[in-house]
Copies of this chain bind each other. A is one copy, B any other.
């Protein structure tokens, strides 16, 4: 057994495997413990081990071959899935130093277009943050985010140089669903200067809208310098 508590057992098994991968116990391409080995070492049933390994396979961390075993997948080979990710963790896991600069953090009256995204009346106010994420002190992403006060009432009192909005929001509100829209544009000067972009360099903008408990929790515009960034998506029919 691994431990006890509120988190389901299969989730702990998943974490156990992921931790092992992160710790280097299992390198890319190597075999991870089989279902029966997990049954013996962790004292769980095979179906629980099966669920953990099956879900990790579905999430792209493992590959399974019937009759042979379960192996650590090469996630870099075919691009990361277009999913919600924590930029701080991404930067750190690539072996770089992450830091953040908070530009704006205040309450604002909802502008018409944003209010529409939230499904709110024009008069309602929203929390607004602007943060520049840096990799090795080089600007990497410009994050312009509006947050539903009903979902995160304490948003304005957070220190986002220590914890990204993503980390904070996933901690206090369960992420139900997310929508991404990607477009290319010439960014406004405010963004351009913060990202040290050349005057003729286009930007890749991701508009991310997330739902929690049926209501829109946050609408974020994430600006990336187009020439230094690629967004990956993967699809299996």
Q: In the complex where A200-B200, A226-B202 touch, is A237 in contact with B184 (Cβ < 8 A)?
A: no
Q: Are B234 and A183 in contact (CB under 8 A)?
A: no
Q: Are B180 and A233 in contact (CB under 8 A)?
A: yes
Total A residues in contact with B, Cβ cutoff 8 Å? 38
Count of identical protomers in the assembly: 2
CB distance from A115 to the nearest CB of B (A): 17
CB distance from A85 to the nearest CB of B (A): 10
Q: In the complex where A82-B82, A234-B178 touch, is A202 in contact with B229 (Cβ < 8 A)?
A: no
CB distance from A122 to the nearest CB of B (A): 21
Q: Which of A179, A230, A235 counts the most chain B CB atoms within 10 A?
A: A235
Give 16 A-B pairs besides A78-B179, A177-B236, A186-B201 with Cβ atoms closer than 8 angstroms.
A58-B58, A78-B211, A81-B235, A175-B237, A177-B235, A178-B235, A178-B236, A181-B233, A183-B229, A183-B231, A184-B184, A184-B185, A184-B224, A184-B226, A184-B229, A200-B200
